Structure 1
Amino acid sequence: MHVIKRLLTAAGTLIFVLLFNFFLFRAVGDPKQDLARNPRLTKAAQDAIIEQRGLDQSQWVQFKHYVTDTLSGDLGRSFVTNRTVTDELMDALPDTLLIVGTATILASLIGPWIGLQAAWKRGRTRDTLLTQSAVVLYAIPVFWLGMLLIAAFAEALPLFPTGHATEPGSTATGLARAIDVAEHAVLPVTTLTLGLLAQYSVNMRSSVIATMQEDYVLTARAIGLAPCTIRRRHILRNALLPVITVIGLNLGFVLGGAITVEALFSWPGLGTLTMQAIQGKDYPLLQGLFLLSSAMVILMNLTTDLLYRRLDPRIRD
């Protein structure tokens, strides 16, 4: 029953986003007026484009077409490139998934481990160094952290490229192309990883400290279990639950919010595509990006909630 309720809630939220999406971008601008300001278009060309895109129809008619087309998988065509929005999104999504997915995996492994080490030595030098370093990283804006990495490892020490997914003009294929992409991905992945692992380590430290005060941990110590056994069987598994929630929720937001990192490194993903759509006032593409980002957040929320119930039987009861 709970699963059905969560699915219905997620579906209802997505429907609300679908409806809100239509009116949001029409509240901030009028596509017909934007076309009229384009000096490269004649009046006849403007009228032809307006008619072709259905902008001469009433808002209600446009809204009905928008809902029916979206539900059928048609997100419209870009005002700038005239390509379908779906094609634009599918071209940019793999590049975003590459850096975000890699950064999430690295941060999910390193961050909790750092938090565990700090909590296990609570109040000692290791805890102070690890925790203060994580707090500093957490407080640094992502774009500034990326600029520091560029200054250090692309300018002072020219070890990695500063932007793009491949070397401009490169025709490499196969392994050579994979190596080229990997070199260009190092700095953006590192930027995202450092920003995420700081949050995960702080959350893990707090969760471990709270778990160490639980009665079952105190009992395990009283009966003489080895510290490594207590850490692995009784502390780590239970302390990870809140961190898993944070990771799952963050993944949806990071996928939709990597704009600054991608813009900084000229990485051709959803973030760069969003910047281009904003600059070009490409309303269909902005609608598609907003809908995709919202769907990702909703999906990650749903997945995290169901996974949490699976990992913690107390919630099911």
Structure 2
Amino acid sequence: MPGDTLEVMLSTDLARGFGAGEVLKLQDSMGLGGDLASQVWDYSVRFVSGDLGYSIPHAAPVAELLLAAVPWTGLLILSATPIFLVCGTLAGIEAGYTPKAGLDRWVTPVITFLASLPPFTGAVLLLLTFGIIWPVLPASGAESLFPVSDRLGQATDIARHAILPVLALALHELARFYFLARAETISLVQRDFVVNARARGISPWRVRWAYIGRSLVPVCLSRLSDTMTGLISAVFFVEIVFSYPGTGYLIYTAILDRDYDLLQGAVVFMAGFVLLANWLIDGLAGRLAERG
């Protein structure tokens, strides 16, 4: 996008009367002076030394802003992941165990509809339903304007504010694991070890969870590795809709303010997080596959 932080600031009434010399001095003091190559070199040197830069609109170091925002994003991701991973997989196993009957006949069309909704659409629908039409949950923010003093009350308040963002994030990824588990279960019920287990009269519940469920663990973990990038993109939109003070909302404000130091620092951090998470998940999936 064109422009920089200084141009955004100069577009306000506060900048009236600034001369060309004063603008050049401001550019130099804000690290925006010189040509593109020199700016890239200066940023690279600072980045290698561990300095992610300074956010002028926020008047704070980028690292400090990220440390304040990352826990909120982590709360949403860590809360939503067990929901869509467990619920989607279990529902997919049940639907694939008896395809075209019972649960499969009713749940699959609903999951298909949810899969067609972009993350921001699902977030807006949840916000409209439970935050405005039927206001039973907070519609924005991570805490109340005047938070309670005791820890239990504060934790409850944070949990209530996180319910709608977590649900929006979980519903976006639920379909992915539902269809994966359903397809794998349809294939597994035809395998010899499952056919023999059913022929020996083993309980259907044990066949579902002990035989099919265990076989799906490496597959689901591998898909979770592929899901990380989509999950990060989804949390970006969800945080914007609910004005949630996480990394996604921080990136959004950085784009509006042309705050490139903050934007670059946040993108680098999120990219590193995705790579690290994929490496850990792939390693764990490989170990589980080796053990059988």
Please, what TM-score do these two structures have when normalized by structure 1?
0.82
Kindly indicate whether residue 182 of structure 2 is the aligned counterpart of residue 205 of structure 1. Answer: yes
The alpha carbon displacement at 1:68 in A equals 2.6
The alpha carbon displacement at 1:90 in A equals 0.8
- Aligned-partner residue type, residue 236 of structure 1: G
- 1:257 and 1:271 in contact (8 A); partners too: no
Q: Which residue of 1 aligns with 2:228?
A: 251
* Correspondent of 2:7 among 11, 19, 34: 34
Aligned counterparts of 1:295 and 1:215: Cα–Cα separation in 2: 42
Kindly indicate whether residue 106 of structure 2 is the aligned counterpart of residue 132 of structure 1. Answer: no
Kindly indicate whether residue 207 of structure 2 is the aligned counterpart of residue 230 of structure 1. Answer: yes
RMSD: 2.4
- State the Cα deviation string for residues 267-300 of structure 1 (Å, max 9, x = none): 1111111111010000001101111121122112
| Greater shift in the superposed pair: 54-63 or 132-141 | 54-63
Aligned counterparts of 1:268 and 1:201: Cα–Cα separation in 2: 30
Aligned counterparts of 1:35 and 1:191: Cα–Cα separation in 2: 33
- 2:3 and 2:258 in contact (8 A); partners too: no
Query: What secondary structure, in the 3-state scheme, does the structure 1 residue paired with 2:32 have?
Result: coil
| Greater shift in the superposed pair: 48-57 or 204-213 | 48-57
- State the Cα deviation string for residues 31-88 of structure 1 (Å, max 9, x = none): 3872684343434543233222433234333333322321222100013123111111
- 1:76 and 1:84 in contact (8 A); partners too: yes
Q: Which residue of 2 aligns with 1:121?
A: 98
* Correspondent of 1:303 among 280, 284, 290: 280
- 1:258 and 1:271 in contact (8 A); partners too: yes
* Correspondent of 2:89 among 86, 96, 112: 112
Q: Which residue of 1 aligns with 2:268?
A: 291
| Greater shift in the superposed pair: 29-38 or 147-156 | 29-38
Q: Which residue of 1 aligns with 2:48?
A: 71
* Correspondent of 1:215 among 192, 198, 212: 192
CA gap of 1:249–1:255, structure 2 versus 1, over 3 A, is same
Kindly indicate whether residue 32 of structure 2 is the aligned counterpart of residue 59 of structure 1. Answer: no
Fraction of identical pairs, as percent? 28
- 2:243 and 2:249 in contact (8 A); partners too: yes
* Correspondent of 1:154 among 108, 131, 136: 131
* Correspondent of 1:264 among 241, 244, 249: 241
The alpha carbon displacement at 1:134 in A equals 1.2
- Aligned-partner residue type, residue 90 of structure 1: L
Aligned counterparts of 2:276 and 2:4: Cα–Cα separation in 1: 31
Q: Which residue of 2 aligns with 1:16?
A: none
Q: Which residue of 2 aligns with 1:279?
A: 256
Aligned counterparts of 2:271 and 2:132: Cα–Cα separation in 1: 37
- State the Cα deviation string for residues 103-150 of structure 1 (Å, max 9, x = none): 112211211111111111212021111211111111112222222222
Kindly indicate whether residue 68 of structure 2 is the aligned counterpart of residue 95 of structure 1. Answer: no
